[in-house]
């Protein structure tokens, strides 16, 4: 894939800035957009902080970091995406929000622009109904933290062309990821398997079966998991986990996917995990 291409990323939160950072490290130019200059600036600050850690740990040089930041354009105006070869949507996991963004983007971007959504569970075919020329639209699902996690799920919708799937795979490879092509279904592969595990761990905690620490220790030492399910839920985001479980429950029609009530309570309190400093665990500033 041509590294001179410009990639647009919509959403400067945890996933969006991680995708932007990975694209910059891979040699692409990036336009990173969000709804306000303040949110976009926070995204850039988080991205810069991550690159600074890379410099401190000797993974990249300061010169290369400066070069990367020189290829980054933050902003709020979606019209900046008109010349991008690839646009990746990474806004909040809400079908109405995503549909609105995708409708506008597909009208602004060129007819050959690859448009991808980073949805973690929503129907690609339904989202595609809001996209002009839906054959160039595909699910491109990265995992958190994006600079570290190697997997990308590629999810074609019912109208996605084979050439779009090939371009999405090439993009993932160019960004140093391993792509897997997944048939469209609620939660795809990873979240269909992983989120019910975290949800069940939340039930265990809510029922007082064991402490958060002991639940996580049990799965790390008893199942050889590198991180416990509740610590992972905090990393993913309690709001994200709840949204995925609600999709799985609604789409699959099976109460085994019913979201744990504690997740709803935590979201209502703003206890979303690492990003807010409080989830199943407390995190310092």
90-141 residue pLDDT tens: 998 899 999 999 999 999 999 999 999 999 989 999 999 999 999 999 999 9
Q: For residue 260, give the nearest of 279, 241, 247 by alpha carbon.
A: 241
Give Cβ neighbours of residue 93 (< 8 Å, ≥ 6 apart).
Answer: 119, 120, 121, 122, 240, 243, 244
Picking from 48, 38, 43, 40, the residue whose alpha carbon sits closest to that of residue 69 is 48
Q: Which residue has the tokens 């996605």?
A: 160
List, in order, residues 6 or more apart from 204 with CB less than 8 Å away.
Answer: 210, 215
Q: Where are the domains of the chain?
A: 6-181, 191-276
In the predicted model, is pLDDT for residue 272 greater than 70? Answer: yes
CATH topology of domain 191-276: 1.10.1040
What is the three-class DSSP state of 181?
strand
pTM reported for the whole predicted model: 0.90
Dig out the tokens for 112 from the structure. 């050959």
Residues 44, 26: Cα–Cα separation, whole Å: 17
**DSSP bridge pairs for 72:** 30
Residue-wise pLDDT for 49-95, tens only, equals: 999 999 999 999 999 999 999 999 999 999 999 999 999 999 988 99
Q: Which residues contact 70 (CB under 8 A, 6 or more apart)?
A: none
pLDDT score for 284: 81
How much is the mean pLDDT over the chain?
95
Q: What is the mean pLDDT of residues 222-232?
A: 97
Q: What is the Rg, in whole angstroms, of the alpha carbon atoms belonging to the chain?
A: 19
Task: Judge whether residue 3 has pLDDT over 60.
Answer: no
| Three-state secondary structure call for residue 207 | coil
Q: Which residues have a catalytic role annotated? A: 120, 141, 153, 191
Structure-block tokens of residue 103: 């409708």
> Homologous superfamily of 6-181 in CATH?
NAD(P)-binding Rossmann-like Domain (3.40.50.720)
For residue 116, give the nearest of 107, 105, 108 by alpha carbon: 105
CA atoms in the 13 A half-sphere facing the CB of 62: 1
Quick check: 230 and 263 in contact, CB under 8 A?
A: no
Peptide bond into 63 cis (omega under 30): no
Residue 129, SS3 per DSSP = coil
Calculate mean pLDDT across residues 227-237.
Answer: 96
């Amino acid at each position: 894939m041509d590294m001179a291409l410009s990639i647009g990323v919509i959403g400067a939160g945890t996933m969006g800035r991680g995708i932007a950072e990975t694209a910059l490290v891979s040699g692409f130019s990036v336009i990173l957009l969000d709804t306000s200059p303040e949110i976009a600036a926070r995204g850039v600050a988080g991205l810069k902080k991550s690159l600074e850690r890379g410099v401190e740990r000797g993974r990249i040089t300061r010169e290369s970091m400066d070069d990367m930041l020189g290829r980054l354009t933050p902003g709020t105006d979606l019209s900046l995406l008109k010349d991008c070869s690839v646009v990746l949507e990474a806004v909040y996991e809400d079908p109405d929000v995503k549909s609105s963004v995708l409708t506008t983007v597909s009208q602004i971007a060129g007819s050959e622009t690859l448009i991808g959504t980073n949805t973690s569970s929503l129907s690609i075919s339904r989202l595609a109904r809001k996209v002009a020329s839906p054959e160039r639209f595909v699910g491109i699902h990265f995992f958190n933290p994006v600079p570290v996690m190697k997997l990308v799920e590629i999810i074609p919708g019912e109208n996605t062309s084979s050439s779009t799937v090939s371009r999405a795979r090439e993009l993932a490879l160019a960004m140093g990821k391993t792509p897997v092509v997944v048939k469209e279904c609620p939660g795809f592969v990873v979240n269909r398997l992983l989120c019910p595990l975290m949800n069940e761990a939340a039930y265990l905690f809510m029922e007082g079966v064991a402490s958060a620490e002991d639940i996580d220790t049990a799965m790390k030492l008893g199942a050889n998991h590198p991180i416990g399910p509740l610590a992972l839920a905090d990393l993913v985001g309690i709001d994200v986990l709840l949204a995925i479980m609600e999709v799985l429950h609604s789409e699959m029609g099976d109460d085994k996917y019913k979201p744990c009530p504690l997740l709803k309570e935590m979201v209502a309190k703003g206890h979303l995990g690492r990003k807010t400093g409080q989830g199943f665990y407390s995190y310092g500033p």
